[in-house]
Chain A
């Protein structure tokens, strides 16, 4: 997997457009965005660095994990494709420090699909590529949120579904790859 493909896979799995659509037109405070970015990048870096140890601890071969990652990506991509991004801006926001974590870090930035992709890329290509592509995807998501592109609801919804469709394609590729690997 070359670095550009790794970045594209991570971007489609994290889906910055879906995150921006979920946050909506509201712009979170600069401090909140920064803190969310740090927490997000750190979490993905940990996932990337510990991917092989994690798979060993789970007694799962990387090739088997490819199949599982395919299932995770297919499920999240297909549901996003079918239902579209869910706006969270209407729901009451928590106060204080919790507002940094919910919903921006969790469940939007830290989600099963991009985490699975980070582990998969790390196991295949090394943790550096996984950490860099995850970091880039997190940065892209936060930039879109900061730019308040969630205001253009229809456009963002369409772009989010486009990335979701791409995710489903990658999911099929990973699953087939895992099945055909030794």
Chain B
């Protein structure tokens, strides 16, 4: 009998150790306040401003170990970074407008026009992709919210029509316009761009409510909620789409269908799981072995943005109100992790290039401009939500 008891104790102990090392690893959410999150967001914005070239483009990727800027550029990310600066402006910090406007001018120089619509064209390879146009439009919409300046209203309508040139009858979007053939590229879709276009359309409806932008937005909302994961064969659904969350956050006030509510509940669960999992990761070889590498800021930031979008939807729709406490908790956790992992002034002082380091997030010694973009947006929105303020 003693052997039975000892054997049981041994099995318990082994099981406890295994669980603690894996599923039950301690989750660490650093403390964060609205003020500290906003300060961290501003530091990220300062990185973007300091690392902008005279032509309005940004340092794309930088490796701290060799103090080298890496080659390459991405027009969709350019539009996203510019949009994040305008988000900060829309939240009240107009000091970033000069840098954001410089980023906008870069996009204005790269417009593609066809019939009555416009799109953002990649100056490098000439491609016209939905995501670039959608995020350029989102930038202009955030700028409009921040400044009230209507000089780009007609351009916004052109860009929105450009997106609709790629929309399919079921609400899905094709990803690319073939400039040579003057037609959409059939069969090519993007798991990012559809949500980006959806969000931009919902913002268009906010600013121009009598122009009918809600009709195509609703078509895409239904597609995202009911069909997208299956049709586009996305693994482990729902795809953690923060752009869709932004859009539904905007759209919730118009009224959501039951399937959209279910989709948002599942999306909240996905973002929650991702944040919880990352909170259990440490920057050690042992943790990397058992739990994988800590998410890069671009990833963690998108989860925070997604939670912020869902928070807005949950605040607007009583069927989602039950999500609010958990969403706030996870958002605060994501913001706390971002804040703690950011290169502050002290760490930057020891870096080979202070301008490239301060306010940035590095993964394996590399930062890319969208690390700062998504982290900025997430921290900004978290600071507003934690302070009980409205999102722009």
- Whether A106 touches B8, Cβ cut-off 8 Å, given contacts A60-B27, A72-B19, A182-B271, is yes
Specify which of A64, A75, A112, A181 is in contact with B24 (CB 8 Å cutoff).
Answer: A64
Specify which of A61, A63, A180 is in contact with B266 (CB 8 Å cutoff).
Answer: A180
Q: Give every chain A residue within 8 A of B24 (Cβ-Cβ).
A: 58, 60, 64-65, 68
Query: Which B residues from 225 to 269 make CB contacts under 8 A with A?
Result: 266, 268-269
Task: Indicate if the CB atoms of A181 and B326 lie closer than 8 Å.
Answer: yes
Q: Does B209 contact A (CB under 8 A)?
A: no
Tell me how far the C-beta of A175 lies from the nearest C-beta in chain B, rounded to whole angstroms: 9
- Whether A68 touches B5, Cβ cut-off 8 Å, given contacts A180-B269, A182-B330, is no
Task: Indicate if the CB atoms of A182 and B327 lie closer than 8 Å.
Answer: yes
Task: Indicate if the CB atoms of B27 and A182 lie closer than 8 Å.
Answer: no
- Taking residues whose C-beta sits less than 8 angstroms from the other chain, chain A's interface range is 20 to 34
Task: Indicate if the CB atoms of A91 and B4 lie closer than 8 Å.
Answer: yes
Q: Give every chain B residue within 8 A of A59 (Cβ-Cβ).
A: 26-28
Task: Indicate if the CB atoms of B5 and A102 lie closer than 8 Å.
Answer: yes
Tell me how far the C-beta of B206 lies from the nearest C-beta in chain A, rounded to whole angstroms: 26
Q: Does B348 contact A (CB under 8 A)?
A: no
Q: Does A107 contact B (CB under 8 A)?
A: yes
Q: Does B323 contact A (CB under 8 A)?
A: yes
Task: Indicate if the CB atoms of B19 and A71 lie closer than 8 Å.
Answer: yes
Most buried by A among B2, B19, B271, B330: B19
Task: Indicate if the CB atoms of A68 and B23 lie closer than 8 Å.
Answer: yes
Q: Does A103 contact B (CB under 8 A)?
A: yes
Write the chain A residue with the least CB distance to B328. Answer: A182
Interface string of B1-24 (1 = CB under 8 A from A): 111110010001001000110011
Q: Does A67 contact B (CB under 8 A)?
A: yes
Q: Does B103 contact A (CB under 8 A)?
A: no
Q: Give every chain B residue within 8 A of A60 (Cβ-Cβ).
A: 24, 26-27
Q: Does B272 contact A (CB under 8 A)?
A: yes
Task: Indicate if the CB atoms of B28 and A103 lie closer than 8 Å.
Answer: no
Q: Does B276 contact A (CB under 8 A)?
A: yes
Task: Indicate if the CB atoms of B8 and A107 lie closer than 8 Å.
Answer: yes
How far is it, in angstroms, between the C-alpha of A93 and the C-alpha of B5 when the chains are bound? Answer: 11
How far is it, in angstroms, between the C-alpha of A77 and the C-alpha of B276 when the chains are bound? Answer: 27
Query: Which A residues from 81 to 136 make CB contacts under 8 A with B?
Result: 88, 91-94, 102-103, 106-107, 112
Main secondary structure of the interface of B (DSSP, over half): helix
- Whether A182 touches B5, Cβ cut-off 8 Å, given contacts A64-B276, A71-B19, A112-B12, is no
Main secondary structure of the interface of A (DSSP, over half): helix
Q: Give every chain A residue within 8 A of B271 (Cβ-Cβ).
A: 182
Q: Give every chain A residue within 8 A of B266 (Cβ-Cβ).
A: 180
Q: Does B273 contact A (CB under 8 A)?
A: yes
How far is it, in angstroms, between the C-alpha of A64 and the C-alpha of B27 when the chains are bound? Answer: 9
Q: Does A179 contact B (CB under 8 A)?
A: yes
Q: Give every chain B residue within 8 A of A181 (Cβ-Cβ).
A: 269, 272-273, 326
Task: Indicate if the CB atoms of B28 and A63 lie closer than 8 Å.
Answer: no
Q: Give every chain B residue within 8 A of A102 (Cβ-Cβ).
A: 1-2, 4-5
How far is it, in angstroms, between the C-alpha of A179 and the C-alpha of B277 when the chains are bound? Answer: 10
Q: Give every chain B residue within 8 A of A65 (Cβ-Cβ).
A: 24
Task: Indicate if the CB atoms of A63 and B276 lie closer than 8 Å.
Answer: yes
Specify which of B1, B27, B269, B323 is in contact with A61 (CB 8 Å cutoff).
Answer: B27
Q: Give every chain A residue within 8 A of B276 (Cβ-Cβ).
A: 61, 63-64
Most buried by B among A64, A65, A107, A181: A64
Interface string of A125-152 (1 = CB under 8 A from B): 0000000000000000000000000000
How far is it, in angstroms, between the C-alpha of A106 and the C-alpha of B326 when the chains are bound? Answer: 37
Q: Give every chain B residue within 8 A of A71 (Cβ-Cβ).
A: 19, 23
Tell me how far the C-beta of A18 lies from the nearest C-beta in chain B, rounded to whole angstroms: 14
Task: Indicate if the CB atoms of A182 and B326 lie closer than 8 Å.
Answer: yes
How far is it, in angstroms, between the C-alpha of A92 and the C-alpha of B5 when the chains are bound? Answer: 12
A residues with a Cβ closer than 8 A to B are 58-61, 63-65, 67-68, 71-72, 75, 88, 91-94, 102-103, 106-107, 112, 179-182
Pairs A-B, 6 closest by C-beta atoms: A182-B272, A107-B8, A59-B26, A182-B326, A180-B269, A68-B23
A-B contact pairs, 17 of them (CB 8 A): A58-B26, A59-B28, A64-B27, A64-B276, A68-B24, A72-B15, A93-B1, A94-B1, A94-B2, A102-B2, A107-B4, A107-B5, A180-B266, A181-B273, A182-B268, A182-B271, A182-B323
